[in-house]
């Protein structure tokens, strides 16, 4: 049996929700208008600037293509040490697992994580760029504050890292990165 005392309550809740939505529409419109006004003011204050900033890599990045797994350009030729390392890699198949790092509960490593299907977020700050990888919930720091990549004793003290140690600089609108100290298992 249905309770009659809930029917007026339900009607009251629906009416209040409709009134709340109706009253909030001007606030939403004002917020959108305010954003447009601020954008127009910024654009007028910065003549010659374009909306597109090639140095702003902020946002979510994801791959559009699923195969082949590549970084979009032909890979440079491997050194003899690179060929020896590649010969030791056993890819996974439908019948047996390979020796990829994640089969041993290790991180995927760099650059393999860049070509993964999961999205990556980039946050650009004045002194660094952060790469946040969804697959492993890891952060990679790309230092752009003028420092050099660690070397010598500093690199020995830091030790190898799954994503290496990266320092970079802007050369015009091109980001030039130097990564050293990558863990050989990655």
| 76-114 residue pLDDT tens | 788 898 888 777 777 777 787 777 766 667 777 776 777
How far, in Å, CA of 177 to CA of 37, rounded? 38
What pLDDT is attached to residue 145? Answer: 92
Using one digit for the tens of pLDDT, what is the confidence trace for 16-48? Answer: 666 656 555 555 444 445 556 666 776 677 776
Looking at residues 55-71, what average pLDDT do you find? Answer: 69
What pLDDT is attached to residue 169? Answer: 92
Angle in degrees, CA 130, 133, 135, rounded to 5: 170
Give the pairing of strands 165-171 and 138-143. Answer: parallel
Domain ranges of the chain: 7-48, 59-73+99-180
Look up the pTM and report it. Answer: 0.58
Using one digit for the tens of pLDDT, what is the confidence trace for 108-144? Answer: 777 677 767 778 889 999 899 999 888 778 888 999 9
Residue 150 has pLDDT above 50, yes or no: yes
């Amino acid at each position: 049996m249905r309770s009659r005392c809930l029917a007026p309550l339900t009607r009251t809740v629906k009416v209040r929700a409709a009134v709340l939505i109706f009253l909030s529409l001007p606030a939403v419109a004002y917020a959108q208008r305010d954003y447009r006004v601020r954008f127009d003011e910024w654009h007028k204050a910065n003549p010659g600037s374009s909306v597109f900033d090639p140095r702003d890599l902020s946002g979510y990045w994801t791959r559009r293509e699923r195969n082949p797994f590549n970084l979009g350009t032909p890979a440079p030729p491997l050194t003899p040490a690179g060929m020896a390392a590649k010969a030791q890699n056993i890819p996974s198949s439908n019948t047996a697992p390979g020796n990829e790092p994640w089969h041993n509960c290790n991180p995927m490593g760099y650059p393999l994580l860049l070509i993964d299907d999961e999205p990556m977020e980039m946050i650009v700050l004045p002194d660094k760029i952060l790469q946040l990888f969804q697959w492993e919930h890891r952060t990679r720091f790309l230092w752009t504050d003028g420092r050099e990549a660690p070397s010598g004793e500093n690199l020995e003290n830091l030790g190898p890292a799954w994503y290496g140690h990266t320092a970079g600089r802007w050369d015009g609108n091109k980001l030039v990165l130097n990564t050293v100290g990558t863990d050989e298992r990655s």
